[in-house]
Structure 1
Amino acid sequence: MNSADEPHLKVERDGNVVVLTMNNPRRRNALTPSMITSMAQAWDEIDANPDIRAAILTGEGSSYCVGGDLADGWMVRGSSGKGSPPPERKSAGSVITDGLLLTRSLATPLIAAVNGACLGGGCEMLQQTDIRIAEEHAVFGLPEAKWGLIAGAGSTVRLKRQIPYTKAMEMILTGEPLTAAEAYHFGLVGHLVPTGRSLEKAREIAAKVCANGPLAVRNAKASIVTSGWLDEQDARQIEQRFVIEVMRSGDAKEGLAAFSEKRAPRYTGQ
């Protein structure tokens, strides 16, 4: 196997959009330590770059991601050696949780283009994405319990908040998957498209996000994520902090001016 065939994360920049492709098609894009390390680094770089206004996560070939490679067993043992964390990171464990978006939420809007099987860790990462497109042949599942494991990279906390409680329990406790049509019906994904069209749809949505005020978009996402499921009074206090910052910005003034002058706004993110 040459270096091009090694499992890796492919990162491509297209204007204000970054497309990240999990590339391990021989193993249905199963995640390796080096891939997760690359993902953790990519999230840092995306959020640090104000010119990146949207990110898309997808898989190579006909699968999205089937989680960690259980045959290798590294997720149980922990990562070491190849794919170990860079010096500034505290531990291999922190790289895994960062890479899988367990201990962080990307500040930049993140769109999932689910082009096939979305299982295990792949399905757990999905729950931290903001906008989700599924191809009609995709399946979504958390089979960990079948192998004596627990879907513990966020699913026992997040999934019941994103789809009906009883379906979340059924997915986690039985390990049986949902079809793409079922995932759309229960609201796990927001768009259902023909095979081969998920990335196209994701780019279309990303373009709409990028056309909006970048500060407004980031603050709206931050308010939603930070307020979580707090009661309304506490959540409103959080919301107001983000609203005030946006309303005092140059982008807000530009947006109102563009509206009154009937022209396209020219946002700077300031």
Structure 2
Amino acid sequence: MSIDFEVEDGIAVITINRPEKLNAMDADHYRGLSEAWVRVRDSLDIRVAIVTGAGERAFTTGADIKSFIASPLPYSEMWLTQRDQLLNRGLEVWKPVICAVNGLCLGGGMTLLMGTDLRVAAEHATFSLAEVKRGVIPANGGTQRVLSQLPHAIAMEMLLTGDSIDAQAALRWGLVNKVVPKGEVLAAAKDYARRIAAAAPLAVQAAKELAIRGKDMDLTTGLRMEQLINRVLQATEDAREGPAAFAEKRPPNFQGR
């Protein structure tokens, strides 16, 4: 089992490292991924995270079905709702997360992708929610997020047929931000990450939280929340550093304070 975790210059790179199984995840991998997200959430030296898969064949094909069939979870697990939370199921991570899709993005890979903020895909990547072909549904947010991230008819086609789309279709429908040649996915993701890491971290996290929470608020409440959070940010050291750096024509040195 391997969920690799590296941090450099404020950027965490999380790699699902099981290429011999197309980076499919058993219970141990899901647990390791949950621990990685907690580390991203709680580490002050991390400003942005990238999640990817090892090799060039797959990002992840989601749950390792054979392992779960061989060792089904007891029904009592259904009510352990705070246990081993994931980015796409319950865990609140306000630091931006970038998905680097280096191949197959299927099932749980798709639901993980839909829990991220920016997505870069290799030109050979494919995407599908194929669970209905296996007698189950795309859990961990698959049925709950797809209609808000794709046009209704496209989302329902993927959800109800289980058929896949290619990288160019994913780009056309806005599921990913960019499609790049094979082998350049991580570099493109790191380019996004460096630009985000250079911005004021408190402001970045506040912007993400407001945007996501705003989907469940009426506009008047959302606008009021913006006012309140902006007032808090104006009292931070970073809010003084930004204008000072601009006036002095130098890069800002944001500290997240």
Whether TM exceeds 0.5 here: the answer is yes
Distance 1:32 1:173 in 2: 25
Q: Residue 59 of structure 2 corresponds to which residue in structure 1?
A: 64
Q: Which amino acid aligns with 2:3?
A: L
Q: Distance in 2 between matches of 1:239 and 1:100?
A: 24
Equivalent position amino acid for 1:31 in 2 = M
Aligned: 1:52 with 2:46: yes
| TM-aligned CA distance change 1:234 to 1:196, over 3 Å | same
What is the one-letter code of the residue matched to 1:51? D
Q: How many residues align?
A: 254
Query: Which residue of the partner structure matches residue 220 of structure 2?
Result: 233
Match of 2:199 in 1: 212
- TM-score, length basis structure 2: 0.93
SS of 1:112's partner is strand
- CA deviation string 1:168-227 (max 9, x = no partner): 100000000110000000000001100111100011110100111111111111111222
Shift of 1:104: 2.1
Is the 8 Å Cα contact of residues 102 and 125 (structure 1) preserved in structure 2? no
Match of 1:31 among 10, 25, 28: 25
Amino acid at match of 2:231: I
Instruction: Work out whether 1:144 is the aligned partner of 2:131.
Output: yes
Deviation at 1:229?
Answer: 4.2
Q: Distance in 1 between matches of 2:227 and 2:146?
A: 27
Deviation per CA, 1:40-78, whole angstroms, max 9, x where unpaired? 111111111121001000001121000101122259922
Between the aligned partners of 1:94 and 1:144, the Cα distance in structure 2 is 24
* Whole-angstrom CA distance in 2 between matches of 1:119 and 1:36: 15
Stretches of structure 2 lacking an aligned partner (at least 5 in a row): none
Matched residue of 2:65: which SS?
coil
8 Å CA contact retained: 1:37, 1:95: no
Instruction: Say whether residues 1:159 and 2:146 are aligned partners.
Output: yes
Counterpart CA distance in 2 for 1:79 and 1:14 is 40
In structure 2, what residue type is equivalent to 1:55? Answer: A
Cα deviation 1:77-115 (Å, max 9, x = unaligned): 2289xxxx9xxxx94x6445x135211232211000000
Whether contact under 8 Å (2:26, 2:68) holds in the other structure is no
Q: Partners in 1 of 2:74 and 2:205 — Cα distance?
A: 32
Aligned mates of 2:131, 2:106 — CA distance in 1: 9
Give, as a single letter, the amino acid of the residue that structure 2 aligns with 1:146. K
2: distance between equivalents of 1:180 and 1:212? Answer: 29
Q: Which amino acid aligns with 2:173?
A: F
Please say if residues 109 and 130 of structure 1, whose CA atoms lie closer than 8 Å, have aligned partners that are also in contact.
Answer: yes
Q: 1 CA distance for matches of 2:70 and 2:174?
A: 29
Whether 1:73 and 2:68 are equivalent positions in the alignment is yes
Residues 120-160 of structure 1: per-residue CA shift (max 9 Å, x gap): 01100100100100000000100000011011221211111
- Taking a change above 3 Å as real, the CA distance of residues 100 and 52 of structure 1, as seen in their structure-2 partners, is closer
Flag structure 1 segments of 5+ consecutive residues without an equivalent.
Answer: 1-6
Range moving further from structure 2, 156-165 or 228-237: 228-237
Q: What is the distance in 2 between the residues matched to 1:263 and 1:191? A: 30
Q: Distance in 1 between matches of 2:110 and 2:256?
A: 32
Taking the TM superposition and a 5 Å limit, the aligned residue runs for 1:1-270 are 7-62=1-56, 63-73=58-68, 77-78=72-73, 91=80, 94-96=82-84, 98-99=85-86, 101-270=88-257
Distance in 1, Cα, partners of 2:184 & 2:70 = 32
Question: Which residue does the alignment assign to 1:3?
Answer: none
Q: Which residue is 1:4 aligned to?
A: none
Q: TM-score, normalised by structure 1?
A: 0.89
Moved more, 146-155 or 186-195: 146-155
